[in-house]
Each structure stands twice: as C-alpha cells, then as structure tokens.
Structure 1
Amino acid sequence: MDDVTRQKILDQIPVIDYIPKENSQAFLYLKRVLHWQQTNSKNAVLVVDDSSAARSHISALLKRRNFTVVTANNGVIALEKLKEHKNIKMVITDLEMPEMNGITLTNEIRKKYTREQLAIIGISGATSGIHSARFIKNGADDFLRKPFCPEEFYCRITQNIESLNNIAKIQHAANTDYLTDLSNRRAFIHNANHRIAEYVKRKVSYCLAVLDVDYFKKVNDNYGHDAGDQILKVLALYMRKHFGGD
C-alpha cells in the first residue's frame, strides 16, 4: 500500500496497472482492465502534440493498454489523420501547438464528429486553471494537466472509452430488432431517407425490395412461435450474408 512499492512496480515496463486489494471494488476494476486489454485494439487513439517526447510518452502508455495509436505534431495534420483512420475513437491533444492549437482543433473536430462518435481529451502544462474550462466549453470531454500520473491517465482514458461503448450499445438497442438483429422500422426509415436523398443527388439508380415469407402463419400455428422465431433468425442470417449491411 505504500507509495514506494507502488512506484517501483509501475516503473516496470510490462506492468499496465497497480491495484491494491483494499475492497471488492478493486476486483471490479481489475475486471474492467482485463476486458479492455482484450478489446482496446479495435479502438484507435490520435495523439496530437508538437513535442516528440510527449507524443512518445503518451503513445507508450496507450500501447501498454493495447490501443492502436496514431500521431500528429499539429492540429492541421490531426484533421487529415482523422479522415484517413476511420477507427479513431479518441483524440488526445495538447494546447499549445504551431499552425493550429488544441482549442481550435477541438472546435474543428466537433464540427464533424459528435460526442457520441468521438471523445476528446485536452492536455496542457500551463499552470492557469482556465484552460480546462476552455477545452470543455469548446467540445472536449475531459482534461489532464501535465505532468500527469499514469494511473489517472488510464482512468480518464478508460472512462471515456466506456462512455462511448455504452452510447453505442444504447444506439444499437434503439435501432435494432431484438430477435433478428436487423435494423428496426425506426432505423430503416432514417437510413432510407438519407440514402435515397444521396442517390437522387448523385443521380444513381436504386430499388426497394420487399420480402414475404410464404405460409409463415401456418408455421406458427403448427409448430409454435418459437419455431417461427427461429425461421426469422435464419432468414436474417442469410440476408446479412448475401446482402451485407443491416
């Protein structure tokens, strides 16, 4: 429990965290850490800082947690990286940078990406406390002051990634049929209106197909609704296999 032991352990490069066995919450935290160690590789993090040493330090911390890391040394390049890498889920940006500072970059990112799509964490070594408020007012989700403790860094990163993941689960539940896992009526109408408008704008031909399962009522009447549900699941499986998408 002492700070000397804690720091000695954290200084070892393979170590990803230090969890004292104080209470049951420690085991719940451990479960979260292990879960994200297995899934973080799906999430890319963009590190934006004009200092190569700072970029390397933050990148090394993220790679310990198995994140895919993308780097940029200023805000202009960062915006280009966001276009190139569609799997970026978080941006960690310094405040003071040439060409475009972190506040301006945050503002530009929020013009294209909502909080549900992308998390932004601002960082700064400046002593003024106003920068955290400026970052958040311009669209950032969190703020860290340099030099920061690696444990605090990991806690902030994990909380923001978990928030994005929870939002994605809620959106999936709201837009997906629970039985077939296909888009529900709400999602269909939204996507159809968007896609048809895009097709008309681009003058692209399109069609709409409607499928009907022959004698489906007889299946339910003769074999029960569980059998009918199984047929719908298999039908949905083949639709995804041959048509793709939702």
Structure 2
Amino acid sequence: MTQYIKTGLNIEDVNDPCFAIKDNIDKILIIDDAKDNRILLSELLIPDHKVFLAKDGVQGIKLACKHNPDLILLDVVMPGIDGYQVIKSLKNNESTMNIPVIFISSKISTEDERMGLDLGAVDYITKPFNPPIVQARVRNHLRSQRHKNLLEQLALIDALTEIYNRRFYELNVRKVWNESIRNNTQVSIAMIDIDFFKSYNDEYGHLKGDDALRLVANHIKKQLKRPHDIIARYGGEEFAVILPNTDANSAERLLIEICISIENLQILHNSSSISHYLTISIGGASIIPIPNMEHNSFLGIVDEHLYQAKAQGRNRVCWKKS
C-alpha cells in the first residue's frame, strides 16, 4: 500500500485536505472533489513531487495562494465553484496568474476542451485518464515551466553586477508596497549613488569602473541578511534597496553601516574630493503606507534625500522618517 513519505500515513487514512511530500522538488496541487481521483493522481506523482490536495475549488484557490505550486491539476465539474471559475480566479490574482494549469475532466467535447484552453489552461486531459500519459504530460509541462522561469530570472538580472536589475526593482517595489498596505507594516527604501564615479572612470578606465561596480554591488548585497531584502542596479552607478517590514531606525542604521563599509573597502579614488577611496551617498525614507497612497510620490521623497546627501558633502546617509 502506498504511503506518504515522512508522514507514515496510509493514503486512504489521510483526512487533511493538504499535505506536502519531500522538500526542494516541484510542487503540484490537485483540485478534485472525487477522493478516488485525488488518491490515484497522488499515487502517480508522489514519488517525484511534492503534492497538495484540495477537495473543492475554494480550498484549491486558498492552497494555490498559500503554497504557489509549480503546476495545478484541476477538475472541471465540482460542487460550489467549478474548474472554469477556479482558473478565472487564479488568472485574475497576481500571485497565481502564472501557475500552469492542466484540466483533468470527464467533459470530453471539443467545445469543453476549447473553453478550458481559452481560459488559460496549458493542457486538457479527459477522464478516464491513462496514468503514464498523465505522468508524461506533467513532466513535460514542469520542464517547460522550469525553462520559462529560468529565462524570466535571467531577464531580471543585471549582466554586469549579477544582482537584480531595474525591471526587477520596479516589479517588486509595487508588490512590497501593496503588501505593506495590506499588513499595515513599515517599508524602507533607499537610493545609493557612487560618489564622483564619472571621474573614477576617467582616471582608471571603464574596465576598472566595471570592477568597482561589481565590488560595490556585491558588498551591499552581502550586508542584506534577510532573504526578502532587495538590492537592484537602478542604472549606471545607482542602486536601489528595498527593506520590507523594516522601521526607520533599523533601516538608517543598516545603511550607515553600508556607507562606512564601502569606504573601508579602500578602493583607491584619487579623483574624489572627499576621500582617498571610493564612497557612496545614500538617501532613504521609511513609511507605513495607507490605502490609495501612491508609491511614486514616496519614491520622490527618497530621491530628494539622496540629493540632500550629495549636497551636504556626500559619503553619508540622509534619511526621512515619517
């Protein structure tokens, strides 16, 4: 009898609508009101994947939002909201819209299949299904999704410094802002500029300039200890830092440490008028955003404080506290 790895529970004994198998492998969510189908599909997929089960559409949507699976197997005919309504909900949610969905349904007409694909499904399998075919299609779609994810990740990386680029920053600053509004938490954002970088390039050449950019970028990245803290190359010699759920005092203290540590790298800069070494100027601000508040106006405040840091002599942090 098939058993769930780590739980030691027999497959028919599991009453919990959601249970995960293994770590660091592809996650698959099965949404089907028929217990026999959930069991059969689980037995097919458990050896190689982490599996979550939902017995209806409402539960499936909740689990998709919570676990962000790599693939969803979705029944069409279910009580309450059907599979077509489920996929519409998933595609209208920013956090789930890109999860590939395969319909597995007893509805076998061409019109049903067309409707499912038009709604955004990547495949449509009819019941009764052939287990090896299900396994093959799941494997192919997961492989395709991994390749797609890799390409998307590469498109968000700055080629020179290998940190995130401005596109990633712009995508995520809006996301972090909206999460802060929902959770009523503080967010801190900083803009960083390398002081007198044009004169550095003029004196030492662009190859040395590229080396300096890489060194500064990766040094700042190492100072950001939490996985959800973000640094991105904003453009040229400018970097942006996003610190979710971070108060003003903590953010300012961290950025001051970063500012000091960059000068302590002792990257020689004879053309600088403020130090023998390469330095940075930082402007930032912290806020608990409220509904209907636009993040662009807040980013303007961050920019203003970067200009203030430069006007006050550079190699310093100028922070706005709300």
TM over 0.5: yes
Deviation at 1:159, TM superposition (A): 2.5
The letter of the residue matching 1:245 is I
Secondary structure of the 1:121 match is strand
Is the 1:122–1:144 Cα contact (8 Å) retained in structure 2? yes
RCO comparison, higher one (Cα < 8 Å, 6+): 2
Q: Which of 63, 66, 69 pairs up with 1:84?
A: 66
Q: CA separation in 1, counterparts of 2:138 and 2:195?
A: 47
Contact 2:177-2:187 within 8 A present in 1 as well = no
Q: CA distance change for structure 1 residues 221 and 238 in 2, over 3 Å: closer, same or farther?
A: closer
Offset at residue 54 of structure 1 (A): 0.9
Matching residue within 37, 58, 65 for 1:54: 37
Counterpart of 2:49 in structure 1: which amino acid? F
Decide which structure has greater strand share. 2
Q: Percentage identity across aligned positions?
A: 21
Match of 1:112 among 59, 72, 93: 93
Equivalent residues, number:
205
Alignment of structure 1 residues 153-232 onto 2, 5 Å: 153-192=134-173, 195=176, 204=186, 206-212=188-194, 217=200, 221=204, 225=207, 229-232=210-213
The within-5 A match list for 1:36-51 is 41-51=24-34
Cα pair 1:116 1:167 within 8 Å, conserved = no
Could you tell which deviates more after superposition, 54-63 or 123-132?
A: 123-132
Q: Which segments of 5 or more consecutive residues in structure 2 lack a partner in the other structure? A: 3-21, 232-322
Cα distance in 2 between the residues matched to 1:40 and 1:207: 33
Give 2:113's match in structure 1, choosing from 132, 137, 143.
132
- Cα distance per residue 1:54-109 (max 9 Å; x no partner): 11111121112x211000111011111122213x1211011221112212211221
- The TM-score, its normalising length taken from structure 1, stands at 0.68
AA in 2 matched with 1:103? Y
The Cα shift of 1:115 comes to 8.3
**Contact 1:48/1:75 (CA < 8 Å) preserved in 2?**
yes
Whichever residue aligns with residue 136 of structure 2, its letter is C
Alpha-carbon distance between aligned partners in 1 of 2:178 and 2:66, rounded to the nearest angstrom: 26
- Alignment partners' CA distance in 2, 1:130 and 1:83: 29
Q: Tell me which residue corresponds to 1:63.
A: 46
Q: CA deviation at 1:241?
A: 2.5
- 1:142 matched residue in structure 2: 123
2:91–2:97: 8 Å Cα contact kept in structure 1?
Answer: no
Q: Is the 8 A contact 1:116 1:168 kept in 2?
A: no
Q: Which moved more, 1:132-141 or 1:211-220?
A: 211-220
Kindly name which structure, 1 or 2, has the bigger radius of gyration based on alpha carbons. 2
Q: 1:205 & 1:41 partners in 2: Cα distance?
A: 30
Which ranges of 4 or more aligned residues in structure 1 deviate by more than 6 Å? 197-201, 213-216
Pick one of 230, 233, 241 that aligns with 1:245: 230
Choose the corresponding residue for 1:73, options 55, 62, 87: 55
Let me know the Cα RMSD of the aligned residues: 3.4
| Cα distance in structure 2, aligned partners of 1:203 and 1:73 | 34
Task: State the distance in 2 between where 1:132 and 1:95 align.
Answer: 10
Structure 1's 150 and 193: CA in aligned 2 closer, same or farther, altered over 3 A? closer
Unaligned runs of 5+ in 1: 1-12, 14-38
CA distance in 2, matches of 1:71, 1:90: 12
Secondary structure of residue in 1 paired with 2:103 = strand
With over 3 angstroms needed to count, the CA separation of the structure-2 counterparts of 1:77 and 1:173, relative to structure 1, is: same
Moved more, 77-86 or 110-119: 110-119
User: d(CA) in 1 for partners of 2:63 and 2:170?
Assistant: 32
Decide which moves more: 98-107 or 182-191.
182-191
